[in-house]
């Protein structure tokens, strides 16, 4: 069985005081020797604070987005090298809240994915369908298209040592998580799609995101193709986060 991974996506939440309390509680609650990977993705301005609190713990950290350019005249953007300076090892790419609010194209997302990989950090690529697409039965087609853009631009082997987060858009922030069977079916589909390349099928982790909570985590994580979770709201509460991490322990 693969080592599982649980990622907290703080989104645009937190403050210096709130983060300090949360990070202290996480360090205290989470055991030193872990049988899973735990990652915290904070807003950019807090990366230094997150690094300071977590550097001596087994928890890793990262960002929620990155620029598709290396440096230069791109007002408001943050580059991969800046993230690395603060010890980030993971970057969430293509979260649906960003692709809808800022009209991010699949090509942009693919370029960012490559930039993160090239900088020796791990991209966490979010893919997912809307409720209308699910009801129309075209969810596999939608996910395929999101992956195909990356495959077309960089080849399937770029998925080696990366993370894909299946996040049905209807399940995010909604209290309507996908059922373990729905998650399993899509994770299996993604794994099969990328199984041509041996390295990729061995090293790729496919995690589920969308209303994961302490009550549903164990069932979701018990599915054979679910390698962990991407958590929004539950990552802002140390007890919930710890309980979900516990459900992901082998």
* Residues designated catalytic: 95, 167
Residue of 31, 155, 173, 224 interacting with ligand PGA (CB under 6 A): 173
- Cβ-based nearer residue to ligand PGA, 116 or 234: 234
Give the H or E element holding residue 6.
Answer: strand 4-9
Residue of 4, 6, 9, 127 interacting with ligand PGA (CB under 6 A): 9
Q: Which of 191, 189, 235, 240 is nearest to 209 (CA)?
A: 235
- Cβ-based nearer residue to ligand PGA, 123 or 232: 232
H-helix segments, the chain = 16-29, 47-54, 80-85, 96-101, 106-118, 131-135, 139-154, 180-193, 198-203, 217-221, 238-247
Residue of 109, 172, 200, 207 interacting with ligand PGA (CB under 6 A): 172
Name the one range near ligand PGA by CB under 6 A: 12-20, 185-193, 205-213, 218-226.
Answer: 205-213
- Cβ-based nearer residue to ligand PGA, 23 or 212: 212
212 binds ligand PGA (CB under 6 A): yes
Q: How far apart are CA 164 and CA 174, in angstroms?
A: 21
- Dihedral of CA atoms 32, 37, 43, 44 in degrees, nearest 10, equals 90
Structure token digits, residue 191:
């794994």
H-helix segments, 55-162 = 80-85, 96-101, 106-118, 131-135, 139-154
Residue of 80, 164, 220, 230 interacting with ligand PGA (CB under 6 A): 230
Residue of 50, 67, 194, 231 interacting with ligand PGA (CB under 6 A): 231
Site residues for ligand PGA per CB under 6 A: 9, 167, 172-173, 209-212, 230-234
């Amino acid at each position: 069985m693969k080592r599982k991974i649980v990622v907290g996506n703080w989104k645009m939440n937190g403050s210096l005081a709130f983060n300090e309390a949360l990070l202290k509680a996480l360090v205290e609650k989470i055991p030193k020797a872990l049988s899973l990977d735990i990652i915290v993705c904070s807003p950019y301005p807090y990366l230094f604070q997150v690094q300071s609190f977590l550097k001596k713990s087994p928890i890793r950290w990262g960002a929620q987005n990155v620029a598709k350019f290396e440096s230069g005249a791109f007002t408001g953007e943050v580059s991969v090298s800046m993230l690395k300076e603060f010890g980030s090892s993971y970057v969430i790419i293509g979260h649906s809240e960003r692709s809808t609010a800022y009209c991010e194209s699949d090509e942009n997302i693919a370029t960012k994915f490559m930039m993160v990989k090239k900088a020796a950090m791990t991209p966490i690529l979010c893919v997912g369908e809307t409720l209308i697409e699910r009801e129309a039965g075209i969810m596999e087609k939608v996910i395929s298209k999101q992956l195909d853009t990356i495959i077309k631009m960089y080849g399937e082997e770029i998925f080696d040592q990366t993370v894909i987060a299946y996040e049905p858009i209807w399940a995010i922030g909604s209290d309507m998580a996908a059922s373990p069977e729905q998650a399993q079916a899509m994770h299996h589909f993604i794994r099969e799609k990328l199984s041509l390349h041996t390295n990729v099928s061995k090293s790729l982790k496919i995690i589920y995101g969308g209303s994961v909570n302490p009550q549903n985590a164990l069932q979701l994580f018990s599915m054979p193709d679910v390698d962990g979770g991407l958590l929004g709201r539950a990552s802002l509460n140390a007890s919930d986060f710890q309980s979900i991490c516990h459900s992901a322990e082998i």
